[in-house]
Structure 1
Amino acid sequence: MDKKKPKKVFVEGAIPPEKIAKSIANHQSKTNIGAHSIFLGQIRADEEDAKIVQAIEYSAYEEMAEQVFHEIRESAFSKFDITCAHIYHSMGRVNAGEICLFVFTSSAHRKIAIEACNFFVEEIKAKAPIFGKELFEDDSHQWKVNK
């Protein structure tokens, strides 16, 4: 794959279901694709120290984060025979129950699409410089630790 400039991955607030549906619909005309794999990260209403998480507020140094996403994407295309890959991550406030991460991979065969999707998610969690602040119902907050 030739070198391309980093794509914009950030969406302000929650990722709307319409964006996910449109992404899927846009691939119906691509007849060389036999499989898609989708990961949707959703905000959980976790209990921390007897307080319930109401939302997570995401922040990042966007230019650096987009470069990391680009490197992950380039690595995935070199490791897997995928046709397409799309990544969207929320910035700002995302309420419990809403989608904050959307990864969508496509290939000729299901096993490759699934493995590539899993690769993206694990690499994003390990490498992307994105920070989440858990917001509680009592207006307190704490920095989220990825589990």
Structure 2
Amino acid sequence: MPKKIFIQGAIPPEKISDSIAKHQSKTEIGGHSIFLGQIRADEVDGKAVTAIEYTAYEEMAEKEIDKIREEAFEKFDLTCAHIYHSLGKIQAGELCFFVFTSSAHRKAAREANQFLVDEIKERVPIFGKEIFEDETHQWKVNR
């Protein structure tokens, strides 16, 4: 069964620190890599983005992320990999995507983290609607 990766609202900093703290007892780990996606206050057509509202086909998205996670374990010598993504309205400056990889050596953790982030962005049905300062909105185009 795929792991639950979606969190309603922004990813709280405590989630990140708790994840790190839980790994202190795993003495076979020598390196961690963390990616944190944060909402940018981009300017699009002269309007500032104030938030992004994320939606997803959760079951489909979790199955695809599970596949990508398994691919990462096949390609890289990982100890563990944790993935979380926000759903709902996330304000500019808040965290929306958290990928945390661990391995005996730093290179595998870094390379796996990059692989996971890139593949999730490319393959997983997660949709973002940019909300502008004037309350208008549009579907996000990755820039």
TM-score by length of 1: 0.96
Structure 2 residue matching 1:120: 3-state secondary structure: helix
Query: What is the one-letter code of the residue matched to 1:113?
Result: A
- After superposition, what is the alpha-carbon deviation per residue over 1:26-59, rounded to whole angstroms, capped at 9, x for unaligned? 0000000000000000000000011000000000
1:12 paired with 2:11, answer no
Residue type at the aligned position of 2:132: F
Amino acid in the other structure paired with 2:61: A
Shift of 1:138: 0.4
- Secondary structure of the structure 2 residue equivalent to 1:138: coil
Q: Distance in 2 between matches of 1:78 and 1:127?
A: 18
Corresponding residue number in structure 2 for 1:120: 116
In the alignment, structure 1 residue 146 sits paired with structure 2 residue 142? yes
Query: Runs (4+) of structure 1 moved beyond 4 Å?
Result: none
Amino acid at match of 1:27: H
> How far off is 1:146 after superposition?
1.4
Q: What SS class does the counterpart of residue 74 from structure 1 fall into?
A: helix
Do the aligned residues in 2 keep the contact of 1:125 with 1:146 (CA within 8 Å)?
no
- 1:95 to 2:102 alignment: no
The aligned length equals 143
Task: Identify the match of residue 81 of structure 2 among 78, 85, 88.
Answer: 85
Residue identity over aligned pairs, in percent, reads 71
List per-residue Cα deviations over 1:94-126 (Å, max 9, x = no partner): 000000000000000001100000000000110
Counterpart CA distance in 1 for 2:80 and 2:101 is: 6
TM-score by length of 2: 0.99
Report the AA paired with residue 54 of structure 1: T
* Distance in 2 between residues matched to 1:8 and 1:70, nearest whole Å: 10
Q: Which amino acid is 1:55 matched to?
A: A
Q: Distance in 2 between matches of 1:142 and 1:55?
A: 11
2:47 aligns to what?
A: 51
Q: Give the superposed CA RMSD.
A: 0.4
Matched with 2:17 is 21
Give the Å deviation of 1:86. 0.1
2:127 is equivalent to residue 131 of structure 1: yes
Partner of 2:62: 66
Query: Which residues of structure 1 form unaligned runs of 5+?
Result: none
| Alignment deviations for residues 77-100 of structure 1 (CA, whole Å, 9 cap, x no partner) | 011100000000000010000000
Contact 1:69/1:128 (8 A) holds in 2: yes
- Unaligned segments of structure 2, at least 5 residues: none
